[in-house]
Amino acid sequence: MKKTFVCGLIMILGLTALSAGDVATFVDKGFSEDGKYYVFGQYGKTDKKFQGWAELYQVDIAANDYTDNGVFKTKPSAVTADKNGRDVFEALEGKSFYYFKDLKCEPANLDHVLYILDDVNKTGTDEIVFKDFRSADLDNADVYHIRLYPTVNGSGKNARSSFYIMLEKRDANGEVIMSRKIGNPGINRKGVTNYKIERIFCDKSERNLIFVIEKMMEDDTGTSIRYMIEAAQF
């Protein structure tokens, strides 16, 4: 199973490298030691002006929201022109080091990676299915069924969209024993025309679940890919 996840991740990285346009690189900084927060970053270079940019986010897992002081950004500008996105990100890490260091973040290990998108042709609404990772008997384990439901009004840069994720836990007979809606469908995002669940993982306590969401965004410069997080607690 671990080899499958690693191969899937390599495929993702390869496909990303081949894609045209402004495609962000996702950075898993990890879960805080106390399990209350998850920290991630992303970086890249704009497609036409070749300006580097970088972002860091602290997510309050219980609230499923960014913390007020835990968002750091370096926007693309003349100052970052021709700078590598990774270099811009490392500089941002340096500026935010003292804020994040006490969190003692640790990325999820492969044992806690539950899903990785391994096919770029999959739609954002395809169902994701996996067995209960906390079960001692995987042959008779309950099964999780996950599906993302988007709502998109308009098109291109004028589009406005939202989504939510439905998580169902079913027993061996297919009966639903738990159902939960994750995310806020009341939040409308301008210019976002598609969403996909890119990966799912949990922390070592197996109580905190993270969904990495790929967003397709459109504006006057073209199409770009960015990432966001949805968090849930068992």
pLDDT at 63: 96
Selected residue with higher pLDDT from 19 and 202: 202
Q: Residue 130: which residues within 8 A CB-CB, separation 6 or more? A: 114, 115, 143, 144
Mean pLDDT, rounded, for 5-26 = 52
For 176, counting Cβ atoms within 10 Å of its Cβ (0-12 exposed, 13-18 middle, 19+ buried), the class is exposed
- Whether residue 29 is predicted with pLDDT greater than 60 in this model: the reply is yes
Over residues 9-22, mean pLDDT: 44
How many contiguous H segments (helices) and E segments (strands) does the chain have? 3, 14
Q: Which two tokens stand for residue 82?
A: 């021709």
Instruction: Give the separation between CA 229 and CA 63, rounded to whole angstroms.
Output: 12
Average pLDDT over residues 149-162: 96
* Of 118-122, 133-137, 210-214, 229-233, minimum mean pLDDT range: 133-137
Is the predicted pLDDT of residue 145 greater than 50, yes or no? yes
Give the C-alpha separation, 40 to 58, whole Å. Answer: 7
177 contact partners, CB below 8 Å, separation of at least 6: 142, 169, 170, 171
Looking at residue 8, its pLDDT comes to: 42
- Of residues 190 and 138, which shows the higher confidence score? 190
Per-residue confidence (pLDDT) for residue 135, from 0 to 100? 74
> Does residue 195 have a pLDDT over 60?
yes
Give the burial class of 59: count Cβ atoms within 10 A of its Cβ; 0-12 exposed, 13-18 middle, 19 or more buried.
Answer: buried
State the DSSP code for 138.
G
- Calculate mean pLDDT across residues 159-181: 94
Would the pLDDT of 5 be above 60? no
pTM reported for the whole predicted model? 0.87
Q: Give the pLDDT of residue 21.
A: 52
Give the pLDDT of residue 136.
67
Query: Coil, helix or strand for 188?
Result: coil
